[in-house]
């Protein structure tokens, strides 16, 4: 009985390892090719599995994309996570994140309402707003509800990937300068909120 239980656990572990390998391959290739709809054959090759194995785990190409988006979104949330109120560290993490993933996000945003791209960018907008609300929560806590919403809107814009793109790509500024300018914008918004809220 113990041997059977061990075999079942080993099978479950192997299945989970296969699943993760496939998802990670899909995510890696999406970043490399700057597109979401990577062919299953390429994912299979990268993961060292067969297309049939992918279909057995995810049911379809669409199922794989949905699962990869969920895993990729969770990775983004974790790599950007900072202690609420530690604004300087949070901005460091954010700029590092944009350096790694910003160009890919911009390409997806440029695709507009394209089905696969929107499946990434729509939840991405929610993730960014939630990051602002969590990161700046201590600075927002004393504000009225209306003022807090307004300030969150402004902080979302000041820390958005498009702000990074304007400074880093359009202006060709070094990373340190981009980080510094984002910090200036954020601190100015927070200081203004302190001065104006009653």
Which pLDDT tens digit goes with each residue over 64-80?
999 999 999 999 999 99
Q: Are residues 47 and 69 in the same domain?
A: yes
Task: State whether 104 and 51 are in the same domain.
Answer: no
* Domain identity same for 42 and 98: no
Tell whether 107 and 137 lie within a shared domain.
yes
1 with 73, same domain: the answer is: yes
Mean pLDDT of the 112-123 span:
83
When pLDDT is averaged across residues 44-49 and rounded to a whole number, the result is 96
Arithmetic mean of pLDDT over the chain: 92
Answer whether residue 2 shows pLDDT above 70: no
pLDDT at position 198 is 46
Mean pLDDT lowest among 68-82, 108-122, 127-141 = 108-122
What is the residue range of 11's domain? 1-78
pLDDT at 54 over 50: yes
Same domain, 55 and 93: no
* 36, 101: one domain: no
SS3 35: coil
Q: Among 57, 78, 99, which residue terminates a domain? A: 78
On the question of pLDDT at 196 being above 70, the answer is no
Q: What would the mean pLDDT of 164-184 be, rounded to a whole number? A: 98
Q: Quick one: average pLDDT of 101-115?
A: 87
Hey, CA dihedral for 12, 15, 19, 25, is it positive or negative? positive
User: Residues 87, 3: one domain?
Assistant: no
Tokens of 115: 């089905």
Dihedral (Cα; 181, 185, 186, 190), 10-degree rounding: 150
Question: Residues 98, 195: one domain?
Answer: yes
Mean pLDDT score, 86-112? 95
141 and 182 together in one domain: yes
Q: What is the pLDDT of residue 146?
A: 94
Domain count along the chain: 2
| Boundary (domain end) residue, out of 44, 78, 112 | 78
**Residues 36 and 56 reside in one and the same domain:** yes
Q: What whole-number distance in Å separates Cα of residue 74 and Cα of residue 185?
A: 27
Q: Is the pLDDT of residue 197 over 60?
A: no
* Cα distance between residue 45 and residue 72, in whole Å: 20
Tell me how far CA of residue 66 lies from CA of 42, 71, 169, in angstroms: 17, 9, 30
How confident is the model over 74-96, as a mean pLDDT? 96
120 and 191, same domain (yes or no): yes
CATH number at 67 reads 1.10.357.10
| Residue at which a domain ends, from 22, 57, 78 | 78
- 81 has pLDDT over 50: yes
Distance CA 13, CA 121 (A): 32
């Amino acid at each position: 009985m113990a041997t059977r239980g061990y075999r079942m656990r080993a099978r479950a572990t192997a299945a989970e390892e296969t699943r993760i390998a496939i998802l990670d391959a899909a995510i890696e290739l999406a970043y490399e090719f700057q597109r979401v709809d990577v062919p299953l054959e390429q994912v299979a090759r990268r993961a060292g599995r067969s297309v049939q194995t992918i279909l057995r785990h995810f049911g379809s190409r669409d199922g794989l994309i949905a699962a990869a988006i969920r895993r990729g979104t969770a990775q983004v949330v974790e790599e950007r996570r900072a202690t609420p109120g530690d604004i300087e560290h949070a901005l460091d993490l954010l700029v590092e994140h944009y350096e790694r993933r910003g160009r890919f996000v911009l390409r997806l945003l440029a695709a507009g309402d394209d089905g696969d791209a929107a499946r990434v960018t729509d939840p991405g907008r929610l993730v960014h707003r939630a990051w602002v609300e969590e990161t700046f929560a201590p600075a927002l806590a004393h504000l009225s509800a209306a003022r807090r919403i307004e300030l969150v809107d402004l902080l979302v814009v000041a820390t958005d990937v498009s702000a990074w793109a304007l400074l880093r790509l359009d202006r060709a500024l070094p990373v340190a300068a981009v980080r510094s300018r984002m910090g200036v914008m954020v601190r100015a918004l927070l200081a203004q909120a302190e001065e104006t809220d009653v």
